[in-house]
Amino acid sequence: MLSIEEQVEIKVLAGQGMSIREISRQLQVSRNTVRHYLRDITAAQRTPRKRRPHKLDSYKGYIEKRLRAAHPAWLPATVLCREIKLLGYEGGMSRVCQFIRRLRVVRPEEPLVRFETPAGQQMQCDWIVFRRGKHPLSAFVATLSWSRTSFVEFVNHEKLDTLLACHEHAFEYFGGVPREILYDNMKTVVLERDAYGPGKHRFQPAFLDFAGHYGFVPRLCQPYRAKTKGKVERFNGYLRRSFYNPLASKLAQDQLHLDVDTANAAVCTWLREVANVRVHGTTEQVPQTQLHQEKDALQPLPPPYLGRIPNAVPVTRPPDWTRFSRQPLQHELSLYEQLFAGEH
């Protein structure tokens, strides 16, 4: 390596018009060495190339605004890409991912062993809470373990009569009843774990009567191990990121709150056109297509359950799951058209 003085001398001699051969002879260094230092000098003096504009540039402000509106929740790149495409974005998903990747630190998930069940054997259920307080909002989520088809119904309380009604709506949606359903420690399902010995639980009597009517066996996942019912837990995260956060944050930008009727109307479209027709990351199959096969393995629907539940509150039936009603609910019709346009 040449000294600083020698490097400066090469620069000066080259600036005076001396050839590389002559500089090499005068300083007694190889011509390649002279070329090497002259290249470094030229590179340092070169004017930086101007960055070419990209198709995403016009939409970066929109993406940042959407992420701020949803904070501390996170909006996935798939949702944001769908939204900006409606605004005219003509680029690809990879550039959107690159732009938002630096804004989030992803923690590696712990290894998970998956257990698969036969078609028609198992359904996993869960409540996912979005809001507590004066205007509560929760969702009943049911996922068939084999096909990964999911059903969602938003409610404003998690009482027993609501839980049973949601089950009935899920069975109708799937077109049959699985042989067993997996739960966590819902108070409306189990009163005491291991009450009669290991694995022998004391279930809520009305719920147990309902299970007997529909012909399924209730199962409980391991305590403090939500991943035991990981299929529905994974869908819960997908529901929150890809449906609830985008919709709720859009309404929040207009100082509006997401209500039960609006959520159920929107989730019908989302289940039909997004969630159940995507290629599932684990099975690499389309859940809705798999459901056509799993229906043959499900138990047939019995007559409606007529059991009595003390102090039951009538539950409003969810909207038609095959089409979206255009009748306005709480807000102006134009707002709903704008919100749901992104799901088509």
Alpha carbon of residue 139 to chain centroid: 15
Fold equal for 4-45 and 122-341: no
Instruction: Name which residue leads in pLDDT, 186 or 152.
Output: 152
Instruction: Tell me which fold the domain 4-45 belongs to.
Output: Arc Repressor Mutant, subunit A (1.10.10)
The residue-averaged pLDDT of 90-101 equals: 88
Dihedral over Cα of 248, 327, 157, 223: its sign: negative
Instruction: Name which residue leads in pLDDT, 254 or 278.
Output: 278
Helix (H) or strand (E) holding 214: helix 205-214
Structure token digits, residue 68: 């701020």
Of 69-73, 92-96, 118-122, 288-292, minimum mean pLDDT range: 69-73
Q: By the 8 A CB rule, do 110 and 117 touch?
A: no
pLDDT at position 337: 53
- Domains of the chain, by residue range, sit at 4-45, 57-101, 122-341
- Band (pLDDT 50/70/90 cuts) for residue 101 is confident
Structure token digits, residue 209: 């009567």
Mean pLDDT of the chain: 82
pLDDT at position 195: 81
Distance CA 72, CA 56 (A): 24
Question: Letter for the amino acid at 79?
Answer: V
Distance CA 243, CA 275 (A): 9
The span from the first CA to the last CA of the chain, in angstroms, equals 64
Q: By the 8 A CB rule, do 210 and 305 touch?
A: yes
Highest mean pLDDT among 29-33, 38-42, 321-325: 29-33
- Band (pLDDT 50/70/90 cuts) for residue 336 is very low
pLDDT at position 344: 42
Distance CA 138, CA 158 (A): 8
Alpha carbon of residue 286 to chain centroid: 16
Distance CA 316, CA 156 (A): 11
Tokens 């009935």 correspond to 168
The residue-averaged pLDDT of 332-341 equals: 51
Distance CA 126, CA 198 (A): 23
List, in order, residues 6 or more apart from 146 with CB less than 8 Å away.
116, 117, 118, 119, 120, 121, 122, 290, 294, 297
Residue 255: HSE in the Cβ half-sphere, 13 Å Cα cutoff: 0
Residue 304: HSE in the Cβ half-sphere, 13 Å Cα cutoff: 5
Tell me the CATH number for domain 122-341: 3.30.420.10
Q: What is the pLDDT of residues 124-151, one digit of tens each?
A: 999 999 998 888 999 999 999 999 999 9
